[in-house]
Structure 1
Amino acid sequence: MVFRITPRQRAKIKTLVRRTCCNCCKGNCLLLDDGEETKCVQLISRYGIYCNYFLKAVLPAEKELYTEILRQNGIKG
């Protein structure tokens, strides 16, 4: 399931990814690295959350943003 996000949320998410995601290195995703650098999916995403690691391990640390995204996507949080 893709969680939809607003442009304001997108800006917060990009900051959160760069500051706290242990898999984001210079804008690239270490989890997707198979010998070639691969852009972080969440940094290039405009309309939703596509990275499961970010959704489950990083976003919950920002409780207000996490709850807001869950609620707007119809999930009680």
Structure 2
Amino acid sequence: MMKITTKQAEKVHRLVNSLCANCDKDGNCILLDDGEAHRCVQLISIYGIYCNYFKKAVLLADKELYEQIKKHNKLK
């Protein structure tokens, strides 16, 4: 898990809503669908990045935010 600030969480939520291929229009995660709707983990999280798909496929679309989060987590 990568920790994020509340300010970064706002940007993450915007990225999820605009770019995530697995988040439907109601904010549910298609990957978690088992016949019942499940809210996107990233849309309910304000403290960290929990979704591997988001981290690997969506977050990189905002290089500045990605670098901020890496720095905040002291990652290389």
Shorter-normalised TM-score: what interval? over 0.9
How high is the TM-score relative to the length of structure 2? 0.96
Distance (whole Å) between structure 1 residues aligned to residue 73 and residue 18 of structure 2: 25
Report what 1:10 is aligned to: 9
User: Which runs of structure 2 are paired with 1:58-69 in the superposition (5 Å)?
Assistant: 58-69=58-69
Report what 2:47 is aligned to: 47
SS at match of 1:29: coil
Alignment: residue pair count: 75
- What amino acid is aligned across from residue 54 of structure 1 in structure 2? F
Distance (whole Å) between structure 2 residues aligned to residue 6 and residue 72 of structure 1: 9
Unaligned runs of 5+ in 2: none
Identical positions, percent: 59
Task: Note the C-alpha offset of 1:71.
Answer: 1.2
Provide, for residues 41-70 of structure 1, a one-character-per-residue CA deviation record: whole Å limited to 9, x for no partner: 000012000000000000011000001101
Larger strand proportion, structure 1 or 2?
1
Structure 1 residue ranges, 4+ long, deviating more than 3 angstroms after superposition? none
Unaligned runs of 5+ in 1: none
Report what 1:34 is aligned to: 34
How high is the TM-score relative to the length of structure 1? 0.94
